[in-house]
Amino acid sequence: MRRYVIAGNWKMNFTPSQATAFINEIKPMVAGKDNCDIVFCAPYVTIAAAMEAAKGSNIKIGAENVHFEQKGAFTGEVSAEMLREIGVEYVIIGHSERRQYFGETDETVNKRTKAALAAGMKVILCLGEVKEQRLAGITKEIVSMQTKLDLADVSAEDMKNVIIAYEPVWAIGTGLTATPEQADETCGQIREALAEIYGAEVAEATIIQYGGSMNDANAAELLAKPNVDGGLIGGASLVAKKFTAIVDAAQ
């Protein structure tokens, strides 16, 4: 059985003090809700404060990116070893905003994924089609290609530490959500691609989240679908009541 993972992606929101206040607010609200893993991925400078506030709770704190080189002349980048040393367990890789605004490609996503896995971290690997691709009827081809390229040379053993977040780009921050049927169908197509690479057992065991305007109002329907194993949540992860409602939907 796959376990739900409900993860917030704070993006470029929350200073350290704001994150501390938020975690202190939400901690009692999600206490004891153990039918899912709860993760917030935070900006680098906010991670330590969020972790400190989350200590002793069922909330885990992750990062939003990681560089693929171990160290050296890569101004502005942060390595997997640096994140591990401060106790970071989860890292988002390949978010569409990074692909769109920061030149991230399937090749760099694959390199970052391998570096994070080699450092013993859990990767939340984001992929998904843009609107034109959905309208052209090639969503399945796109997500299957991304799955294969982004996971090139990742072993079946390492797949235990990979969560895939299916995020249709047209649904991110737009208020447009994929219907539960669309989310289920595309998560299923990603699972098919995983089966082609790794076989049915790995494909069935891999957690596949949906992301894209998931909120307190639509989470229950989305999470009820057999191929949707959790959510990667942007806007609604900044509001304690909304995020808690999503956690509740996963109970």
Residue 43 in contact with ligand 13P, rule: CB under 6 A: no
Token pair recorded at residue 114 = 């391998």
Helix, strand, coil fractions of the chain, as percent rounded to 5: 45, 15, 35
Residue 173 in contact with ligand 13P, rule: CB under 6 A: yes
Residue 211 in contact with ligand 13P, rule: CB under 6 A: yes
- Those residues whose C-beta lies under 8 Å from the C-beta of residue 135, and which sit 6 or more positions away, are none
- Those residues whose C-beta lies under 8 Å from the C-beta of residue 156, and which sit 6 or more positions away, are 198, 199, 202
Q: Which residue from 193, 214, 222, 250 is in contact with ligand 13P, where contact means CB under 6 A?
A: 214
Nearer Cβ to ligand 13P (198/218): 218
Rounded to whole angstroms, the Cα distance separating 180 from 227 reads 10
Query: Quick one: which segment of 30-38, 109-117, 195-203, 233-241 binds ligand 13P (CB under 6 A)?
Result: 233-241
- Evaluate whether 139 touches 129 at the Cβ level (below 8 Å): yes
Does the annotation mark 185 as catalytic?
no
Parallel, antiparallel, or unpaired: how do β-strands 208-211 and 4-9 relate? unpaired
Nearer Cβ to ligand 13P (202/250): 250
Residue 235 in contact with ligand 13P, rule: CB under 6 A: yes
Residue 62 in contact with ligand 13P, rule: CB under 6 A: no
DSSP for 165-230?
EE--GGGTTSS----HHHHHHHHHHHHHHHHHHH-HHHHHHS-EEEESS--TTTHHHHHTSTT--E
Residue 92, helix vs strand vs coil: strand
Residues 66-105, one symbol each (x = binds ligand 13P by CB under 6 A, - = not), give: -----------------------------x----------
Query: Quick one: which segment of 13-21, 71-79, 80-88, 167-175 binds ligand 13P (CB under 6 A)?
Result: 167-175
Nearer Cβ to ligand 13P (143/202): 143
Q: Which residue from 42, 172, 194, 250 is in contact with ligand 13P, where contact means CB under 6 A?
A: 172
Q: Which residue from 37, 129, 167, 184 is in contact with ligand 13P, where contact means CB under 6 A?
A: 167
Does the annotation mark 167 as catalytic?
yes
| Least gap, CB of 91 to ligand 13P (angstroms) | 13
Q: How many CA atoms lie within 13 A of 224 on its CB side?
A: 7
Catalytic residue of the set 95, 97, 104, 129: 95
Rounded to whole angstroms, the Cα distance separating 60 from 38 reads 6
Residue 106 in contact with ligand 13P, rule: CB under 6 A: no
Q: Which residue from 109, 233, 240, 249 is in contact with ligand 13P, where contact means CB under 6 A?
A: 233
Provide the annotated active-site residues.
95, 167
Which parts of this chain interact with ligand 13P (CB under 6 A)?
Answer: 9, 95, 167, 172-173, 211-214, 232-236
